[in-house]
């Protein structure tokens, strides 16, 4: 299952051309004829916020209508996701959904307020984002082996931050704990920005973070990258090994991705139009260059392709959560 997921994400990397039949001009007539809002279930900071803003700006220019990003924060992203799922299915309220909210939270929260598999219309997998394990430079730790050795010698003394329970930063940290046989304390925050801030301040020691959220701090020497959480080394962080290679943790992977979804019942013609237009803006050279420089890989998949990735990660993270006994408390 993991290998199949890797191959699928690799095949989807960089915008795909939609394979749908021509749009029904009658069904999608006039859409959009007023501003469209994209709900972001997390606060400012990191790809969860910057990606929909960059894509939304291009969509707004293409549509001749404003695309407004609204941050609805709280409950590990569940508040924003629930709001989006309960919106009118008219295409004017869409949601930028991280992998954690679609594939992880359903296993952690028995009462999400919506059903991921019944209450959402899948539109497109917008992009995947590489993660990197970083440590505050003041710790003096330079390699992942040093981190693991220190954690083994001091059980429970080192801590790792995340943007909330159930986020991929949380899963990544727990995977390192489990696979390396160490015990770092999880410290959840209300968002990526707050988590990165406290790692920089030395309140928390390490974090599995999306590269865009920490790249400037790495370049400034404030954070030390110990390993990338993908199957291959990152083009953005040249010379930094994968976590799998750096710590001999076979199969380690924690890649983030972001989907665009709408409420259940969204007309197929609107789904198709939004998917095609998102794919079109992701092919624009200036946006591609900007995203790739940030460690964000544009995708622009079809709804069917998004469904395959979502289902694979839904099962994968469910098994991890059950095996480690992770709870939302």
Instruction: Please tell me the predicted confidence (pLDDT) of residue 326.
Output: 85
State the residue for tokens 């059950």: 322
DSSP 8-state symbol, 116? T
Instruction: Please tell me the predicted confidence (pLDDT) of residue 166.
Output: 82
Domain locations in the chain?
2-128+256-324, 131-247
DSSP 8-state symbol, 76? G
The model's pTM is: 0.82
Rounded Cα–Cα distance for residues 53 and 36 (Å): 12
State the residue for tokens 């969860």: 48
The token pair at 33 is 């004829």
State the residue for tokens 């700006």: 57
According to CATH, what is the number of the domain 131-247? 3.40.190.10
Q: What does pLDDT average to in each consecutive run of 10 residues of the chain (329 residues)?
A: 49 42 52 97 83 97 98 90 97 96 93 93 96 96 97 96 87 93 93 92 96 93 96 91 94 92 98 98 97 91 97 91 83
Per the DSSP assignment, residues forming a β-bridge with 298 are 127
Instruction: Select from 131, 126, 137 the least CA-distant residue to 236.
Output: 131
Cβ(222)–Cβ(137) below 8 Å: yes
* CATH C-level class of 2-128+256-324: alpha beta
Q: Give yes or no on whether 2-128+256-324 and 131-247 have one common fold.
A: yes
Half-sphere exposure of residue 163: CA atoms within 13 angstroms, side-chain side:
29
Per the DSSP assignment, residues forming a β-bridge with 242 are 228
């Amino acid at each position: 299952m993991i290998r199949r997921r890797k191959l699928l994400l690799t095949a989807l990397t960089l915008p795909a051309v939609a394979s749908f039949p021509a749009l029904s001009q009658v069904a999608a007539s006039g859409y959009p004829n007023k501003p469209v809002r994209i709900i972001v279930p997390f606060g400012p900071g990191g790809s969860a916020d910057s990606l929909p803003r960059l894509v939304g700006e291009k969509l707004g220019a293409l549509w001749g209508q404003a695309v407004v990003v609204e941050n609805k924060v709280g409950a590990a992203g569940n508040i924003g996701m629930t709001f989006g799922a309960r919106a009118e299915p008219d295409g004017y309220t869409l949601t930028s959904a991280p992998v954690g909210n679609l594939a992880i939270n359903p296993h952690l929260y028995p009462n999400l307020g919506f059903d991921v598999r019944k209450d959402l219309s899948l539109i497109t997998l917008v992009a995947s984002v590489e993660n990197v394990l970083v440590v505050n430079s003041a710790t003096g730790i330079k390699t992942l082996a040093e981190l693991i050795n220190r954690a083994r010698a001091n059980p429970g003394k080192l801590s790792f931050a995340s943007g909330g329970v159930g986020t991929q930063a949380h899963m990544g940290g727990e995977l390192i704990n489990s696979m390396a046989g160490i015990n770092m304390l999880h410290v959840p925050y209300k968002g990526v920005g707050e988590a990165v801030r406290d790692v920089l301040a030395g309140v928390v020691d390490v974090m599995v973070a999306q590269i865009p959220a920490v790249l400037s701090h790495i370049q400034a020497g404030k954070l030390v990258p110990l390993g990338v959480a993908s199957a291959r080394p990152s083009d953005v962080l040249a010379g930094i090994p994968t976590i799998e290679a750096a710590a001999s943790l076979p199969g380690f992977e924690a890649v983030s991705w972001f989907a665009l979804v709408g409420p259940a019942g969204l007309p197929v013609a609107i789904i198709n139009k939004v998917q095609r237009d998102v794919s079109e803006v992701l092919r624009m050279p200036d946006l591609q260059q900007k995203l790739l420089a940030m460690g964000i890989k544009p995708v622009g998949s079809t709804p069917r392709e998004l469904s395959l990735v979502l289902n694979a990660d839904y099962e994968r993270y469910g098994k991890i959560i059950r095996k480690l006994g992770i709870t939302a408390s």
